[in-house]
Amino acid sequence: MANGKYDWGLFVFKKRLSVQQHQRGFAISLMQHLVIPTFVIDAHRRVMIWNKACERLTGVAEEDVVGTSEHWRAFYEKPRPCLADVLAMDCVDKLHEFYVHHHAIPSELSHGLRVENWCVMPKLGNQLYLAIDAGPIYDDAGNLLAVVETLRDMTEHKRAQIALQQLATKDGLTGLSNRRTFDENLQIEWQRAQRHGSPISLIMADVDYFKRYNDHYGHLSGDECLKKVADVLVRGLGRPTDLVSRYGGEEFALILPGTTLDGAMIVAQRICNAVFDLNVPHEKAEGIGFVTISMGVASLIPEDGDVHDILLACADEALYAAKHEGRNRVVSAKE
């Protein structure tokens, strides 16, 4: 009030300010109570907002993180950028270094990013698979004001997906790769060997007198025996590219990419000895008294036009010879 007159200009200004403050307060409160875990960082990567749902998801309290750049601690054990940081630092080209599953959000309106990732959640001590979205906010001049990151817990969904994948690719009894995975892998490795002109070896293994084992000790003991043999096979393989699968009943197949016949024979003999050394009694195994396996080994450098069936047929023939020659032995396919 000046000279008894009311200052309408000041009044309108104050009113507008108070409406703006009210709106801002409402927006912050809205975000804080949003059911979707959300946090916001400024252009200097300091946390501005850390909502209640984010507190529940991470176990990290708002007061411990707001004003700091320590938000990574809520998700990871070692310092690394969160998705919002990637946008704030303008290093989207490095996204693949931090996230396996990532893509830009397909919208002309958004410069956002979407990723999926396993997070270790150090405060809660449990691993969560999170779907993460981040979107930048710019002022009218195009300067970055903030980045909003939202998180969705996809752990159950991911675990179900992994379980389904396991069902489709693994053998239920032994946990080894199943026949389908074997077929796919053999095809891939065969083609790779063809392209590189490198050797590929295949070992077929079959438990000796296993029908008698089942008949004598029962089917459940038979299953236990197969698991023990499978463990020996897994331990017998040295390279990450080697693959052991349950081919069928009591037959196993081992693919050894980049391995010559001599190398594969050494591996097979070592495994054959290790199964014998398990000392699993088998009263009905002729002459030996323990569970043993026979193995047929084949190796080839595939040429153009060759199909992998030749390798299977050669290894099978060698296995047949191993049985014929008395079992508990390794026989190589004829060159």
Residues lying near ligand GH3 in the complex (CB under 6 A): 173, 206-212, 214, 219, 222-223, 226, 249-250, 323, 327
Stretch that binds Mg ion, among 17-25, 129-137, 202-210, 218-226 (CB under 5 A): 202-210
Q: Does 210 bind Mg ion (CB under 5 A)?
A: yes
Residue 112 and residue 132: Cα distance in Å, rounded?
10
Shortest reach from residue 309's CB to ligand GH3, in Å: 21
Residue 73 and residue 266: Cα distance in Å, rounded?
49
Known active-site residue 108: no
User: Which residues make Cβ contacts (< 8 Å) with residue 309, sequence separation at least 6?
Assistant: none
**Binding partner of residue 223 among Mg ion, ligand GH3, none, CB cut-off 5 to 8 Å per kind:** ligand GH3
Task: Of 89, 91, 98, give the one whose Cα is nearest residue 43.
Answer: 89
Q: Does 129 bind Mg ion (CB under 5 A)?
A: no
Sheet with strand 128-138: strands edge to edge: 47-50, 38-42, 144-153, 128-138, 113-119, 101-104
Of the residues 63, 250, 325, 335, which is catalytic? 250
Residue 54 or 275: the one with the smaller Cβ distance to ligand GH3 is 275
Residue 79 or 172: the one with the smaller Cβ distance to ligand GH3 is 172
Q: Does 206 bind Mg ion (CB under 5 A)?
A: yes
CB 242 within 8 A of CB 252: no
Helix axes 219-236, 210-217, angle to 10 degrees: 140
Restricted to residues 220-259, the positions that interact with Mg ion (CB under 5 A) are 250-251
Residue 88 or 207: the one with the smaller Cβ distance to ligand GH3 is 207
CB 173 within 8 A of CB 222: no
**Backbone torsions φ then ψ of 230, nearest 5 degrees:** -60, -40
Residue 82 or 272: the one with the smaller Cβ distance to ligand GH3 is 272
**Binding partner of residue 55 among ligand GH3, Mg ion, none, CB cut-off 5 to 8 Å per kind:** none
* 155: its two tokens: 């752990």
Query: Which residues bind to Mg ion, rule: CB under 5 A?
Result: 206-207, 210, 250-251
Catalytic residues: 250
